[in-house]
A = this chain, B = another copy of it.
Amino acid sequence: MKLLAAPARLSTVSATFEQDFAARLHWSAEQDAAIEQRVADILAQVAERGDAAVLEYTARFDRLQAASVAELELTQAELQAAHDGLSAAQREALTAAARRVRSYHEAQKKACGQSWSYRDEDGTLLGQKVTPLDRVGIYVPGGKAAYPSSVLMNAIPAQVAGVPEIIMMVPTPGGDKNPLVLAAAYLAGVTRGFTIGGAQAVAALAHGTATVPKVDKITGPGNAYVASAKKRVFGQVGIDMIAGPSEILVLADGSTPPDWVAMDLFSQAEHDELAQAILLCPDAAYIDQVAQAMNRLLPELPRAEIIAKSLSGRGALIHTRSMEEACEISNRIAPEHLEISSSEPHRWEPLLRHAGAIFLGAFTTESLGDYCAGPNHVLPTSGTARFSSPLGVYDFQKRTSLIEVSEQGAQTLGRTASVLARGEGLQAHARAAELRLKP
């Protein structure tokens, strides 16, 4: 049977558009009670029994026997050997990607990750100092979704932030190590690595064990167990975000070759059957061309079945009244990846308020951003771009407010604080301010 790319065809002029659109967008993170309970148990066991519990879970879930957690540690020599053993093409590509990702995050640190302060008219110093976290853990999925690019995207911003210790956790089911992942860890400056995965890896990082050091923050994507564990330790340690399925939204004015747009939609759909690929376009004839291109190009792809399922389940080609309306709909979706596949990308960009990353113009296929353009590929999914941001240097820094009040400043500020503190019934606050007043 020939595979078909069968995304839903919607039109904003249709009377049923709102309900069709809502049905396509609907997705909710499964809150599987059974998973939650098992994760709670794993966290409790690792907190209580440390290394011994980690070894048991690793043997059970990853079929990997070890006499000690130290045996699960990846040595720097092993990381370097993986790097040196790559083909020249792979080594060069990985090195080029790491260099660009580092250079972008250095610019980011310069733009928004610097300490700042000023003195007001009373001589009061106010500001914030920005400092790196002491130690972070990055989780790297293993098995079928082992992405070396994710190692770069998590470790490099931490390194640029100045985090002295970066601990990588990567499951290696059956002991099978991915050389590209190890090589990426070498290039990205991972300090220590362990072949531990799942909720037990998150637990070890959050609580610390005799062998695995406790970290201050855990970043990186993972399966439902990892996501549940991260959510559960949130507060004891920092976490980045809880990622949902990947999404792409293409805003097209009809000026890009239809094959390009079709392949861009596929490049999200191939991640996962739950991934979402949406095209918004005011040109019905162009939408037909993209649909034809999809059916022509689909069979040549190894992951055609996943793509077909993703598109028929969650994909959509949406005919809009105008590019302006397309922008409004995009804002309602707040997509993870947003391509403006237009000859005038800068005309539409200012209208787009919510997205993880915006790719401007026909040459900026999302795939370049995923690997090597420089910006981070860890982006808010499932509409969370309404309130959250790409992973960045700022996720590996924290801010401390600085306040230095002069004797003179304490006179005016003290009177204000005293009135307000008494209004709140906090007399010790008031008295502390009043003690600094000159008689």
Digitize A254-279: 1 where CB-to-B-CB distance is under 8 Å, 0 elsewhere: 00010110011011011100000000
Residues of A at the B interface (CB closer than 8 Å) are 29, 89-90, 92-94, 96-97, 103-104, 107-108, 111-114, 116, 118, 120, 124-131, 133-134, 146-149, 180, 216-217, 231, 234-235, 237-238, 241-242, 257, 259-260, 263-264, 266-267, 269-271, 297, 301-303, 307, 345, 349, 352-376, 379-380, 384-390, 392, 394, 398-407, 409-410, 412-417, 419-421, 423-433, 435-436
Q: Given A234-B231, A392-B399 in contact, is the A421-B371 Cβ separation under 8 Å?
A: yes
- Contact present for A401 and B405 (CB under 8 Å): no
The CA of A260 and the CA of B93, in the complex, are separated in Å by: 61
Number of copies: 2
Which of the residues B107, B264, B409 comes within 8 Å of A432, measured between beta carbons? B264
Min CB–CB distance A257 → chain B (angstroms): 8
Q: Which residue of B lies closest to A353 (CB)?
A: B131
Min CB–CB distance A31 → chain B (angstroms): 10
Residues from chain B with a CB closer than 8 A to the CB of A372 are 413, 416-417, 420
Additional A-B contacts beyond A112-B128, A363-B406, A367-B432 (6; CB < 8 A): A128-B389, A238-B387, A260-B432, A352-B400, A355-B400, A367-B430
Q: Given A242-B235, A260-B435, A267-B428 in contact, is the A403-B364 Cβ separation under 8 Å?
A: yes
The CA of A65 and the CA of B238, in the complex, are separated in Å by: 40
Residues from chain B with a CB closer than 8 A to the CB of A94 are 420
Which of the residues B267, B376, B429 comes within 8 Å of A429, measured between beta carbons? B267
Residues from chain B with a CB closer than 8 A to the CB of A107 are 116, 118, 126-127
Which of the residues B366, B423, B436 comes within 8 Å of A365, measured between beta carbons? B436
Q: Given A410-B363, A427-B270 in contact, is the A420-B216 Cβ separation under 8 Å?
A: no
The CA of A147 and the CA of B421, in the complex, are separated in Å by: 9
- Contact present for A417 and B303 (CB under 8 Å): no
- Contact present for B385 and A398 (CB under 8 Å): yes
In order of increasing CB-CB distance, the 9 nearest A-B pairs are A238-B387, A111-B116, A93-B419, A360-B404, A357-B401, A389-B399, A266-B428, A375-B401, A371-B417
- Contact present for A303 and B420 (CB under 8 Å): no
- Contact present for B147 and A384 (CB under 8 Å): no
Residues from chain B with a CB closer than 8 A to the CB of A93 are 415-416, 419-420, 423
Min CB–CB distance A246 → chain B (angstroms): 11
Q: Given A126-B107, A231-B235, A413-B368 in contact, is the A373-B216 Cβ separation under 8 Å?
A: no
The CA of A435 and the CA of B367, in the complex, are separated in Å by: 11
- Contact present for A354 and B263 (CB under 8 Å): no
Q: Given A89-B419, A400-B358, A403-B357 in contact, is the A409-B363 Cβ separation under 8 Å?
A: yes
